[in-house]
């Protein structure tokens, strides 16, 4: 099955061609980082305009790189949620037009399920049937979720963030530390020679009781990063000397990163003790981080479960994960998206009530 995937849910304009859900023939991603950088975060209006201007050429390039003609495609797959409404609309409208013109079926894909599927773009990883049940940590700029994947298409959200996403905590922390946007990669680089135990920043939701039970989820599997961000802000205000002393600065950056990852790992550890799984997995932009990958490796080794990490080139937003997922007959995707609307708050495993 040959699928063209299109992804425009946030600030990456992406198209890819994937054969049989596993073989990536082309993967083109245009990041808009430079356009958003002056504002310290993503500006939705800029994202939409950039998608409109670049998507047709990105799709053409993916088709050319894959050496695939439109008539050879079996389907087109596009992200229709969750994400920025205007940004999603650009990709979905383009895909609907392309489907109409080419006569190819159009699938509507959930961005979070596509991130989970990115695990299987690693050719050495067996099919989902062989590795489920999985406990998956999905960590990106917009999402922080702990998902129990009983089998493909059957997901249970065990925990989620109550406020900021992990990637957002890194991005906002980097802004406070005057490191620019996006924060994750620059924090990882600056933290490299720092002491992660130099200062203990709060971990969020450290005490659990009924008042912290939110969205009907067990707080032992949930995350909170807004207090951590505020703690960093106050620390920086009362210690302006960190900007003058490179060693001190690296120690603070490392300590902040440690607080984010320690929070993630402790919730994953709680869930691993309660749920019997074959594999622990991590996907999303933050999964690119070598420190987090190592921590999860240690945890998986300690508990005695396998570890599946999204390939480094498919952690951040891309369309290969969208096209790949479309080949799974058991995916929770919309199989006729020709008249579908965008769904900015689409939940994992749910389909919109009307098309
Ligand atoms: O998955 P993604 O591209 O977009 C969303 O769906 O949100 O993730 C982007 C996030 C940003 O917050 C960015 O700071 C973070 O992933 N990120 C990283 C690294 N590279 C990107 N975080 C930690 N370490 C990295 N190396
Ligand atoms: Zn994403």
In angstroms, the Cα distances linking 32 to 10, 44, 186 are 9, 11, 17
Atom number, ligand 1, closest to the C-alpha of residue 316: 3
Between the CA of 132 and the centroid of ligand 2 the distance, in Å, is: 22
pLDDT of residue 355: 36
Between the CA of 10 and the centroid of ligand 2 the distance, in Å, is: 7
Q: How many helices (H) and strands (E) does the chain have?
A: 11, 10
Atom number, ligand 1, closest to the C-alpha of residue 111: 6
Ligand 1 site residues, Cβ closer than 6 angstroms: 10, 140-142, 167, 170-171, 182-185, 188, 284-286, 288-289, 316-317
Give the closest ligand to the alpha carbon of residue 165: 1
Between the CA of 243 and the centroid of ligand 2 the distance, in Å, is: 32
Between the CA of 67 and the centroid of ligand 1 the distance, in Å, is: 30
Q: How far apart are CA 296 and CA 213, in angstroms?
A: 25
pLDDT of residue 352: 56
Between the CA of 223 and the centroid of ligand 1 the distance, in Å, is: 17
Between the CA of 273 and the centroid of ligand 2 the distance, in Å, is: 28
- Kindly report the protein residue whose alpha carbon is nearest to atom 13 of ligand 1: 184
**With contact defined as beta carbons under 8 Å apart, do 78 and 87 qualify?**
no
pTM over 0.75? The answer is yes
Quick one: tokens of 14? 């992406």
Between the CA of 316 and the centroid of ligand 1 the distance, in Å, is: 6
- Ion ligand 2: residue ranges with CB closer than 5 A: 140, 317
Which mutation among 285, 288, 313 tests ligand 1's pocket best, with the greatest number of atoms within 8 A of CB? 285
**With contact defined as beta carbons under 8 Å apart, do 170 and 286 qualify?**
yes
What one-character-per-residue DSSP string does 140-175 give?
Answer: SSS-EEEEEEEETTEEEEEEEBSSS-HHHHHHHHHH
Between the CA of 12 and the centroid of ligand 1 the distance, in Å, is: 11
CA atoms within 13 Å, Cβ hemisphere of 39: 12
Give the closest ligand to the alpha carbon of residue 283: 1
Q: How far apart are CA 99 and CA 114, in angstroms?
A: 20
Q: What b/e string do you get for 234-251 counting C-beta neighbours within 10 Å, with b at 16 or more? A: ebbeeeeebeeeeebbbb
- Kindly report the protein residue whose alpha carbon is nearest to atom 8 of ligand 1: 285
Quick one: tokens of 159? 């925990």
In the numeric block, the tokens 């703690």 are attached to 231
Q: How far apart are CA 207 and CA 222, in angstroms?
A: 12
Residue by residue, pLDDT tens for the chain (355 residues) are 999 999 999 999 999 999 999 999 999 999 998 898 888 888 999 999 999 999 999 999 999 999 999 999 999 999 999 999 999 999 999 999 999 999 999 999 999 999 999 999 999 999 999 999 999 999 999 999 999 999 999 999 999 999 999 999 999 999 999 999 899 999 999 999 999 999 999 998 776 666 656 678 889 999 999 999 999 999 999 999 999 999 999 999 999 999 999 999 999 999 999 999 999 999 999 999 999 999 999 999 999 999 999 999 999 999 999 999 999 999 999 999 999 999 999 999 866 554 3
Paired sense of beta strands 154-160 and 279-283, if any = unpaired
Give the closest ligand to the alpha carbon of residue 114: 2
Atom number, ligand 1, closest to the C-alpha of residue 257: 23
């Amino acid at each position: 099955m040959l699928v063209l995937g299109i992804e425009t849910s946030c600030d990456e304009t992406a198209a890819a061609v994937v054969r049989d859900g596993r073989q990536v023939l082309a993967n083109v991603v245009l990041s808009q980082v430079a356009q958003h950088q002056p504002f310290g975060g993503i500006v939705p209006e800029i994202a939409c305009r950039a998608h409109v201007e670049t998507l047709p050429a990105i799709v053409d390039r993916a088709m050319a790189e894959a050496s695939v003609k439109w008539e050879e495609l079996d389907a087109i797959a596009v992200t229709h949620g969750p994400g920025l409404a205007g940004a999603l609309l650009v990709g979905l409208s383009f895909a609907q037009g392309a489907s109409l013109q080419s006569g190819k079926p159009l699938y509507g894909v959930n961005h979070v399920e596509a991130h989970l599927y990115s695990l299987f773009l690693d050719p050495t990883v067996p099919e989902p049937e062989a590795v489920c049940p999985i406990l998956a940590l999905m960590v990106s700029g917009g999402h922080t979720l702990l998902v129990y994947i009983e089998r493909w298409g059957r997901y249970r959200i065990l925990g989620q963030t109550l406020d900021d996403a992990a990637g957002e905590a890194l991005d906002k922390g980097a802004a406070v530390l005057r490191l620019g946007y996006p924060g994750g990669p620059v924090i990882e680089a600056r933290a490299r020679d720092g002491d992660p135990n130099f200062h203990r920043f709060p971990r969020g939701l450290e005490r659990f009781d009924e008042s912290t039970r939110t969205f009907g989820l067990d707080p032992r599997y949930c995350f909170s990063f807004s207090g951590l961000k505020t703690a960093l802000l106050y620390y920086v205000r009362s210690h302006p000397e960190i900007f003058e002393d490179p060693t001190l600065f690296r120690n603070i950056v490392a300590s902040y990163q440690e607080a984010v990852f320690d929070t993630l790992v402790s919730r994953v550890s709680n869930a691993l003790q309660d749920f019997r799984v074959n594999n622990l997995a991590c996907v999303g932009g933050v999964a690119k981080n070598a420190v987090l990958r190592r921590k999860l490796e240690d945890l998986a080794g300690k508990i005695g479960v396998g570890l599946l990490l999204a390939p480094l080139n498919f952690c951040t937003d891309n369309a290969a994960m969208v096209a790949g997922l479309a080949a799974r007959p058991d995916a929770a995707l919309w199989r006729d998206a020709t008249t579908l609307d965008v769904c900015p708050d689409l939940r994992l495993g749910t389909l919109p009530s009307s098309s």
